[in-house]
Structure 1
Amino acid sequence: MTDLGTGWVRRAIRRELRYVRGQFAGLAERDSHQRFEARQIAKATLAAALAWFLADRFLPHETVWIAPATAVIMVHATVYQTLTNGVRRVSAVAVGVILAGSVGYVLGLNALSLILVVPPALIAARWRRMGRHGSDVATTAVLMLSFGAASQERYLLAYVAATGVGAVVGGSINAVLWPPLYRRRPQDAVRRLSSEAAALLKDLADGLREQGDLSDLPDWQRHADRLDTHLARATSAIADSAESRRFNLRRRIVEPELRDHTPLLAAMGRIGVHLHGIVRALGHVAQRQKQHDDDAPPWISDDFAHDYADLLERLAEALATQLRPSDEAVQMSALIEAALERAEAIQEKMTEEVSAGRLDQPRGWAASGSLLTDAERILSVLSTLQAESERPPAADADPVTGPAGVR
């Protein structure tokens, strides 16, 4: 093996070792993802063993295997998913058994029986109420025909019963023993999104402060693209948190996360759009500058780049402060006010330069205006968010689910 190949293997091994160490370290943290996964694994194991015991005691031996298999599948990430998917799986299996039994009892296994069973099974599988368990209709029907069990009424009934036993056992264990309740996931996801956006603003500020250095533009573009991924994860985390409270016995016992992250998530979505706009404008500037001689004046003046970098840095600080405790609201207001003053100063300076005809590079004025506009819109979003956070909640509002009657 070459030195290059050996180095790659060593790096891969080190990455995997770091991952394993991180997983074990997470087990020591309260409410960590690793602890959650460990509990779910333990619950699935217990559900499989209990389902096998019950099926082995009360059902024919040849159908026992389906009970623990179904029980493991039913230990979902939320109690709501467990209940709804349990009903769907049992229903799908029952429909498949009915199709196979009604045709197989008369025709047995042959090409004609498959022609008669597969199309209606696939049509039933596409019913939206079946969800992801719709495929179980077709697979169950074909398996019953293939095993020659479609004509054995006792086996078909036992197969459905074993599926029901597994679903009930798996669903009961997941609903009673540490039912999943995501309290920290929305906050962590939104915090990561906000931190990534603040970090991008800081990187942009650092680059522009160095005489408008755009050499890190590819990294900024990748960073902006990652924001979309973080936004999707945060959206999913908030939806999962809301779903985890449905039919959950712990929702009345465990103190809920009082902060509603939905307004901040919506604000971050708008901020992400304007961050993409800033990066695209800088990409346009970099492309245009490459097409002209090195001796030509820069499209963005050094004064504008320096002032704009200060504005972006203030926006980054304000964004990083957004998720901190409420006692720092005064600091947040001060940061927004400072950013607003800087934006107004830049706008006044640009207006004076245009009026006096003192633009070093007139073709870059549009790009500078675009950059300033996106920064001002980010500032507007933060200002609105700050004003909403200082507004007292309605008297009839639930801190988690919103106004009374809304869930």
Structure 2
Amino acid sequence: MGDRWRHLTASAERQVAYVRAQLAGLARPDSHQRLQVRQIAKATLAAVLAWLVASRLSLSQAAWIAPATAVIMVHATVYQTLTNGLRRVAAVATGVILAGAVGYVMGLGVLSLVLIVPPALLAARWRRMGRHGSDVATTAVLMLSFGAASEEGYLLGYVVATAIGAMSGISVNLLLWPPLYRDRPVLAVRRLGRETAALLGAMAEGLRDGWDLSELPEWERQAVRLDEHLAAATTAVADRTESRRYNLRLRLHPRSGAADPSPVLRLLTSAAAHVHAIVHALSYLDHPAAPGTGPGQPADVSDDYARDYADLLDLLAEALASKVRRGDPAHTHELIGRAQAHAARIHERMTSEIRHGEIEHPGGWALSGSLLTDADRILAILSDHQDTLPGYGRAKT
């Protein structure tokens, strides 16, 4: 009962913290929360405008489709609104044409469905239809099922109402504060960089003192969260690029916006794969110690190597954090140089041990090499991107 109560309390605290964060976001100018509120208001306005226009044109029973289409046309970017608006109108028109052509002659029946569904699904699979490809089949079957396929006036009104809804959504999203993502991608990439550096630092702390792998499950959870942050950052950067297409705000202020975070994202994407590999390699060390080894010490790798490797991970974490937050270039360069020198010393020691037959733990040699190789690759990634990252000043939202 006590554990359950603590779990419920912790869950309630997380929900309260989430609500507070959302309210705090509403107080910040041009925050993500305010953007969502604006998008909701714009969708409402688009629906009202679409209904008024459809009603004025006396589209009778088909008028309902206009506001329904307008709501789903207010997308996260102007580009999505334009492309999806055209695709939806094309999909609906194709479905109506199929239903009208077959239903006018045959009405609703098994044979008419056999004649409509296959070509509708083939049209839906055309890649240019995008996410609205399924609207071809659903529109055709609905028109046929409702008995409207033989009513030319309703079919025409349905297509016109869809077009009105799409135009309303496009116009509102294009002309009224079109979404322009500037701060969110930078923040997402920075969070990804912090999490990556934090995981490297946590592993260094555990490896430095007696091969303490008790936190390995937490490192594995952090690695999973790293994938989630990477996906979020990738989506945010893609939205930033797409939001600049056909955006009138950008045309009015062509120099506005924060620096492009894409180079940093590419660096972190490459580094994340090797961080995962390090966590995976360490999972092989998490087994009972062999006779003669210290408590918690894996039998395959020496303590000296663990301490050296921990120091290397610490340097990598510092260099990565400095790179992402765009710290002093000289300091970042110094950290990378120190890490390179330290990695070279580890290589030299391992080579010397092989040459003189002084390997204490031959069973763990391949594992030691794997750990060092992934650390070297992270270091190479940091070195290769040394002069390509944008300056991160105070980002505008």
Task: Show the counterpart of 1:224.
Answer: 223
Q: Distance in 2 between matches of 1:390 and 1:72?
A: 37
Matches of residues 185-196 of structure 1 in structure 2 within 5 Å? 185-196=184-195
Task: Show the counterpart of 1:369.
Answer: 369
Gaps of 5+ in 2: 392-397
My pick for the range that moved more, 138-147 or 360-369, is 360-369
Q: CA RMSD in A?
A: 2.3
Alpha-carbon spacing, 1:291–1:314, altered in 2? closer, same or farther (3 Å): closer
> In the TM superposition, what is the alpha-carbon distance from 1:10 to its structure 2 partner?
4.5
Instruction: Output the amino acid matched with 2:274.
Output: H
> In the TM superposition, what is the alpha-carbon distance from 1:5 to its structure 2 partner?
5.7
The answer to whether the Cα contact below 8 Å between 1:82 and 1:171 also exists between their aligned partners in 2 is yes
TM-score normalized by the length of structure 1: 0.88
What secondary structure sits across from 2:324 in the alignment?
coil
Instruction: Spell out, residue by residue over 1:278-313, the C-alpha distance to the aligned partner (whole angstroms, 9 max, x if none).
Output: 2222222234xx273354784222222222211111
Q: Distance in 2 between matches of 1:215 and 1:333?
A: 34
Q: Distance in 1 between matches of 2:343 and 2:166?
A: 60
Task: Show the counterpart of 1:323.
Answer: 324
Instruction: Spell out, residue by residue over 1:320-356, the C-alpha distance to the aligned partner (whole angstroms, 9 max, x if none).
Output: 0112246x11110111111122222222333333444
1:29 partnered with 2:28: yes
Task: Show the counterpart of 1:169.
Answer: 168
Instruction: Output the amino acid matched with 2:270.
Output: R
The answer to whether the Cα contact below 8 Å between 1:212 and 1:300 also exists between their aligned partners in 2 is no
Q: Distance in 2 between matches of 1:257 and 1:322?
A: 21
My pick for the range that moved more, 256-265 or 276-285, is 256-265
Matches of residues 88-103 of structure 1 in structure 2 within 5 Å? 88-103=87-102
Alpha-carbon spacing, 1:225–1:14, altered in 2? closer, same or farther (3 Å): closer
> In the TM superposition, what is the alpha-carbon distance from 1:44 to its structure 2 partner?
0.2
The answer to whether the Cα contact below 8 Å between 1:59 and 1:162 also exists between their aligned partners in 2 is no
> In the TM superposition, what is the alpha-carbon distance from 1:63 to its structure 2 partner?
1.6
Q: Distance in 1 between matches of 2:314 and 2:21?
A: 33
TM-score normalized by the length of structure 2: 0.90
What secondary structure sits across from 2:385 in the alignment?
helix
Alpha-carbon spacing, 1:303–1:227, altered in 2? closer, same or farther (3 Å): same
Instruction: Output the amino acid matched with 2:316.
Output: L
What secondary structure sits across from 2:111 in the alignment?
helix
Q: Distance in 2 between matches of 1:390 and 1:337?
A: 21
Q: Distance in 2 between matches of 1:345 and 1:321?
A: 23
> In the TM superposition, what is the alpha-carbon distance from 1:114 to its structure 2 partner?
2.0
My pick for the range that moved more, 89-98 or 348-357, is 348-357
Instruction: Spell out, residue by residue over 1:60-98, the C-alpha distance to the aligned partner (whole angstroms, 9 max, x if none).
Output: 231211110000010001111111111111111111111
What secondary structure sits across from 2:386 in the alignment?
helix
The answer to whether the Cα contact below 8 Å between 1:67 and 1:162 also exists between their aligned partners in 2 is yes
Alpha-carbon spacing, 1:251–1:280, altered in 2? closer, same or farther (3 Å): same
Q: Distance in 2 between matches of 1:268 and 1:77?
A: 25
My pick for the range that moved more, 167-176 or 258-267, is 258-267
Of the two structures, which has the highest relative contact order with CA contacts closer than 8 Å and spacing of 6 or more? 2
Q: Distance in 2 between matches of 1:269 and 1:11?
A: 32
Gaps of 5+ in 1: 392-407
Instruction: Output the amino acid matched with 1:125.
Output: A
The answer to whether the Cα contact below 8 Å between 2:43 and 2:169 also exists between their aligned partners in 1 is yes
1:142 partnered with 2:141: yes
Q: Distance in 1 between matches of 2:79 and 2:331?
A: 41
Task: Show the counterpart of 1:158.
Answer: 157
> In the TM superposition, what is the alpha-carbon distance from 1:389 to its structure 2 partner?
4.3
Q: Distance in 2 between matches of 1:278 and 1:3?
A: 37
> In the TM superposition, what is the alpha-carbon distance from 1:357 to its structure 2 partner?
3.7
What secondary structure sits across from 2:290 in the alignment?
coil
1:16 partnered with 2:32: no
Alpha-carbon spacing, 1:187–1:310, altered in 2? closer, same or farther (3 Å): same
